[in-house]
Amino acid sequence: MQDPNLAVMPDFTTIEHLEARTQLVNDGFTDTQAARSLASLWTIANNTAKAKWAEGLERREANRLRAEEEAQQRQQALEDEEEAAR
């Protein structure tokens, strides 16, 4: 998955998005309203993706910190055992 914070909104006024606009025009939108609606929907979806991306980053960081702490605890236990053995 790509970082949605880097995503660039498509230009919904182009021929590439004609079919989507046409469907909205057939439902009573003007072409301009259709393009704006598509842009709004893209923004809503992108904002949701950004929130999920941030949650994933936070979860990965928490897992990394937990693993680091566990490794430090194992190292300390080894050092304690070595000290006790001496």
Region of 37 on the Ramachandran plot (φ > 0 left; ψ -120 to 50 alpha; else beta) = alpha
Q: Is residue 26 part of a domain?
A: yes
Number of domains into which the chain is organized: 1
pLDDT at 77: 94
For 60-78, write each residue's pLDDT tens digit.
999 999 999 999 999 999 9
For 12-49, write each residue's pLDDT tens digit.
999 999 999 999 999 999 999 999 999 999 999 999 99
pTM of the model: 0.76
What are phi and psi for residue 26, nearest 5 degrees?
A: -65, -20
Q: Is residue 6 part of a domain?
A: no
pLDDT at 1: 74
* Contacts with 4 (C-beta within 8 Å, 6 or more apart), sequence order: 46, 49, 50, 53
Q: Which domain holds residue 65?
A: 11-85
Coil/strand/helix, residue 14 = coil
